[in-house]
Amino acid sequence: MKPTFEEMMSGRTGMKRPEVPESIEASKKPSKTAMEKTSDAAKELIDTETQKRDAKTAALRKARMARDKA
């Protein structure tokens, strides 16, 4: 027996959406645009430079404190 249009639209046909394996779902993730890739690279570069600056600041502060104690 073929379901009517109303039955198909109401979801009462007993038909279910087929299961999609996780491996396929994982591959459906949209790839990053060029702008997103550039932004990610820039953020990483900024973080690296910030860490370097913080390390230099800490070394200078330590040297200054040692000099002031002497």
Would you say 17 and 25 are in contact if contact means Cβ atoms under 8 Å apart? no
Q: Tell me how far apart the alpha carbons of residues 30 and 65 are, in angstroms, rounded to a whole number.
A: 52
5: confidence class by pLDDT, cuts 50, 70, 90 = confident
Residue 39 zone, left/alpha/beta (φ > 0; ψ -120 to 50; rest): alpha
Write down the pTM of the prediction.
0.51
Tokens describing residue 38: 């550039």
The pLDDT mean for the chain works out to: 83
Q: Tell me how far apart the alpha carbons of residues 55 and 3 are, in angstroms, rounded to a whole number.
A: 71
pLDDT at 6: 74
